[in-house]
A and B are shown apart, each in its own frame.
Chain A
């Protein structure tokens, strides 16, 4: 079988397009590169959506945590503590078991049936967990940055007669993002890496549609040779991590473009793992 045919067959296998069965007996390099790369679609899907939704939730949570009212502050603090203080792996299991307990047939609300079965699928359930998780981690980063907004900036905003939403949107928020961005880049990278956990935790892979690491393990188990599939997966992840750093670096430059002199460099530190 030619490599082109293999790519046609397995290139989109992870989302159910192409060959029905996974390769059997024949595990060429082309097979491994194609299928593992196909699994990457899921990692990117989880990372992008969780980060996109999580970003806004995190901003809200950071504001709630810095609020003066106890009723806003305490729940935000607890949410952040629970999701940062426990392993993501356990969170996946816990949420999966909780979702499984929902009635199979769905809820009846005023004669309308609200289906629940889809929630136990990885694409929805795992995304939900990753969203909550990244919201908590990012909220802590944003909170720290919010506390570090220079006093002078706020006073200047007050002097211009800005208040409330205007002040937040035009002064607090941009400064907070600018200060938080290097740490937030780390968070994004480690969230992207954490997406590999999805199919190893409670969430079953439906019809063997899995992520990059799922297929890498598939090949390692079939060929008894870990030295090929895992480096391939690692190669893909390094590539995507580098593009992620590039993208976030571009945003970083944009956030800091008004500042003279040296702008904070992005330092990638292993601060966050789940």
Chain B
């Protein structure tokens, strides 16, 4: 906090605004934007990995694995994603605590579910009740990342499974005719070729991910929505910086933030697409070749 802001009640106009925008809580609000960006940066590769695994599983020869893959890719089709956002963190938390409970407190005889309660021994609690607040925050964030990765992995699996089907079948058969095994065909022909077919779907998915980040709020993470509500609420005279209900303006700022993110992503993704389609044996690649003469 700036030194001139020591007595905010005496300030006016620009100085007041400047001091208001640099209070500790405001700075936390700015940092929460980083939380959102971190979430996207971590989730995107993990979800891509999940999706890749799921898409490969749909083509597996081992039937139960194939069923799992099909189930995973279709789970987001019929059920709202918010159900998963609410379900996955709690289920994961209880699952982890239950496993720790089994390992750490093996002499415990009472059932874990007692009526409307879920009771594990103190040592199995996650995070431990003695751990500092920051550990709780990080744990909550990690659960959120897992929930996002599972849901977006399912979306990505959908896209990648479609892309794998789009790779010309004749090429795969040619590979087999050369005596490659199923696995070799996958690794050498299917996987390198599918990305260009997957790209439109994946860029769409990135846009979706951007727009899903405010749901962090539902998972109890102190994200931008949380701080916008907190800081925007009416502050009476007992606060240093009293102001009327400003939530509308805070949310307007968030709206602008998201619109900017969308716009920037659109521009970047368009460049990436044109870079990847160059020289490809697809309609877009052919059009590019002709345009350049």
Contact = CB atoms under 8 A, between A and B. Distances in A.
B251 A97 contact: yes
Contacts of B204: 271
A242 B204 CA distance: 24
A193 B86 contact: no
A89 B254 CA distance: 11
Interface stretch (B8-16, B74-82, B131-139, B185-193): B74-82
Interface residues of A, number: 47
A250 interface: no
A183 to B, nearest CB: 12
Interface string A96-130: 01101100000000000000000000000000000
Given A90-B258, A200-B82, A273-B212, A230 B87 contact: yes
Nearest to A236: B79
A85 B262 contact: yes
Given A90-B251, A97-B251, A200-B218, A237 B80 contact: yes
A220 B82 CA distance: 14
Interface string B223-255: 001001100100000000000010110011011
Tell me what chain A mostly uses at the interface: helix, strand, loop, or mixed: helix
B225 A89 contact: yes
A187 to B, nearest CB: 13
Contacts of B113: 224-225
Interface in B26-84: 76-83
A81 interface: yes
What 6 A-B pairs come out closest when comparing CB atoms? A193-B80, A238-B78, A85-B262, A224-B118, A97-B248, A87-B211
Interface of B: 76-83, 86-87, 90-91, 94, 113, 116-118, 155, 158-159, 162, 201, 204-205, 208, 210-215, 217-218, 225, 228-229, 232, 245, 247-248, 251-252, 254-255, 258-259, 262-263
13 contacts: A86-B262, A90-B254, A93-B229, A94-B251, A97-B248, A101-B245, A200-B218, A225-B118, A238-B78, A238-B79, A270-B205, A273-B81, A274-B211
Interface of A: 25, 27, 81-82, 84-91, 93-94, 97-98, 100-101, 189, 193-194, 196-197, 200, 213, 216-217, 220, 222-227, 230, 233-234, 237-238, 241-242, 268-271, 273-274
